[in-house]
Amino acid sequence: MRLQGSCHCGAVKFTCESKNPVPYQLCYCGVCRKTAGGGGYAINLAGEASTLIVSGEENITVYQAAIQNPEDSSAQVSSARRRFCKKCGSALWLDDPQWADLIHPFASAIDTDLPLPPTKTHIMVDFKPSWVQLDESPAATDKKFGRYPEESIADWHSRHGLQF
């Protein structure tokens, strides 16, 4: 599926192909939440880095977050590079040299109609703010993880029979 995205002011536009475009995974980590989240979380998609085409690249800036380890208070600079419009501040996508074949566009930057997820997965819930309430009722079907799940974005799509 071809994803088309842009920043709020229109200075940056981008496209990429995605085999995994369903916006099912909500990340509550402090970095995603504070740099790209509106509802206390950010939604990341998976795209093929080799298909990324950018217009207005001169208007992009990069942020690499210092990640605080909650177990021992140590910190390290993340290898993930978050791309933002330097004119309006819109979060666009992140990439990481460890997974050079992928980019992760923020669903909030995508202009293409995205498929509805049959379920959602909440990750990094240990770091969600107290004002965000998750459905904990017995009927709730969403999966919740304190940190990262073992299932990849591609595996989730495959498990649900969502091939694009």
**Which tens digits make up the pLDDT trace of 81-140?**
999 999 999 999 999 999 999 999 999 999 999 999 999 999 999 999 999 999 989 889
Query: Nearest CA to 29 among 78, 98, 102?
Result: 78
- What's 2-159's CATH class? mainly beta
- In whole angstroms, give the CA distance from residue 123 to residue 164: 24
Residues 6+ apart with CB under 8 A from 23: 43, 45, 107, 114, 117
Residue reference for tokens 């599926």: 1
Query: Nearest CA to 52 among 93, 107, 97, 112?
Result: 93
67 backbone dihedrals φ, ψ, rounded to 5° = -100, 120
32 backbone dihedrals φ, ψ, rounded to 5° = -60, -45
What pLDDT, on the 0 to 100 scale, is given for residue 38? Answer: 72
Tally the residues of the chain: 164
Residue reference for tokens 């942020």: 63
- In whole angstroms, give the CA distance from residue 157 to residue 90: 27
pTM exceeds 0.75, yes or no: yes
pLDDT digits (tens, 9 = 90+) for 24-79: 999 998 898 889 877 778 898 999 999 999 999 999 999 999 988 777 878 889 99
Domain residue spans of the chain: 2-159
